Amino acid sequence: MANIISIATEVPEFCHRQEDIVHFMSTVYGIDDIEKRKLTYLYKHSDIEKRYSVIDDFGLAANEWDFVPQNPAAPFPNMEERMAVYNQTAPGLSIKAIANCVSGHIVPTEITHLITVSCTGMSAPGLDLQIAEAMGLAPNIFRTSVNFMGCYAAVHGLKLAKLICDSTPNANVVVVATELCTIHFQKEYTTDNVASSLLFADGCAAVLVSNTVTSGNSLALKGFYSHVQYKGKKDMAWELSSKGFLMTLSGYIPHLVEEDINNLVYNALRYYGLGMDDITNWCIHPGGKKILDVIEKKLQLGKDALQIPRKILSEYGNMSSPTILFVLQQYMLAPPKPNTNIFGLAFGPGLTMETFIACRP
């Protein structure tokens, strides 16, 4: 049996209010007053209050910028410079989350498997080895990485953790999802760049999945169901370039979700042997306000059903892969109730839709 024992979350030190970020963006983009009003309107209606970043520039005056050039004519950071920031900051954030996650349950040397999840930074030796060395993990630890799968990648990490626990005795699997989305900010004033700068943030979440350890808030991972909607493959994409990772984020995504969400949920529930009435909590990745609104409307959920995903969106923005774990942690921290069935759902490039069911064991 694979049980989620604990989830710990971490964010970088720099917290930026949405109203400060829009001022920063307007300055960097060099847009006129009409475009500033449009951008300000979008930010005000994003349902995001604040976001976190490893970069402090977003809340500073232009003459204090460090990562972003103060001279508008100067080139923006290239891929090497962005990856240097990732390698300097991602390990510390990950280690902090893992240490808090396993504390009180196991010691780090009892971690048998380490799964790192990220789509915002890659190198070799990578994040997994950086973590293992810094934390003194066993030199024969099983390591693997889930890379470049976007916002649904943590679900894939949980899927691997369950496979490991179901097939390996005495498994203590740690999944750590670490994303530094803000290091890939681009200065060109395009629809895709505006959408990315409006939504994305930095964050990290670690999960302990075990077939031996127990805790009062444990959740049993019961199963997974995924579906790829290929007609949306061009509407959400994430590509490498010499100037950083480039996001394609079409405004058509909420429409794709609206078209397919009923069939996806119906097929997933049928696969799990459950009905809508059996679901007590909806652990939805808050990819954006419009996506949450569409899901709430199409599934005819109660007005409070997505209260926690909306809270996470408001307080952290979209952190890509760790975000759904921030939501799941809130459900785990709630007083345990019998017959709890949590339906998890996240979206990512493809357009891929990943779901899971977690229950009170």
- Those residues whose C-beta lies under 8 Å from the C-beta of residue 75, and which sit 6 or more positions away, are 69
pLDDT at residue 232, as a whole number: 59
- For residue 274, is pLDDT > 80? yes
Q: How many residues does the chain have?
A: 361
SS3 assignment, position 205: strand
Contact in structure between 206 and 93 (CB atoms under 8 Å):
no
- For residue 312, is pLDDT > 80? yes
List strand residue ranges (DSSP E) for 56-133, in order.
Answer: 113-118
Contact in structure between 347 and 236 (CB atoms under 8 Å):
yes
Contact in structure between 76 and 241 (CB atoms under 8 Å):
no
Q: What percentage of residues in the chain have a pLDDT greater than 70?
A: 96
Contact in structure between 147 and 119 (CB atoms under 8 Å):
yes
Distances (CA, A) of 308 to 281, 304, 312, 313, 330: 10, 8, 6, 9, 7
Element (H, E) at 344: strand 341-348
Thinking of the domain 219-359, which architecture would CATH place it in? Answer: 3-Layer(aba) Sandwich (3.40)
The angle that helices 79-102 and 127-135 make with each other, rounded to 10 degrees, is 40
Question: Which of 89, 14, 21, 6 minimizes the C-alpha distance to 55?
Answer: 14
Residue that has been written with the tokens 């998890």 in this structure: 344
Interval 57-110: pLDDT, tens: 999 999 999 999 988 888 899 999 999 999 999 999 999 999 999 999 999 999
pLDDT at residue 273, as a whole number: 96
Residue that has been written with the tokens 């799941």 in this structure: 328
Interval 12-54: pLDDT, tens: 999 999 999 999 999 999 899 999 999 999 999 999 999 999 9
pLDDT at residue 258, as a whole number: 79
pLDDT at residue 243, as a whole number: 76
Interval 107-138: pLDDT, tens: 999 999 999 999 999 888 899 999 999 999 99
pLDDT at residue 212, as a whole number: 94
pTM over 0.85: yes
Interval 280-295: pLDDT, tens: 999 999 999 999 999 9
Contact in structure between 178 and 90 (CB atoms under 8 Å):
yes
DSSP 193: H
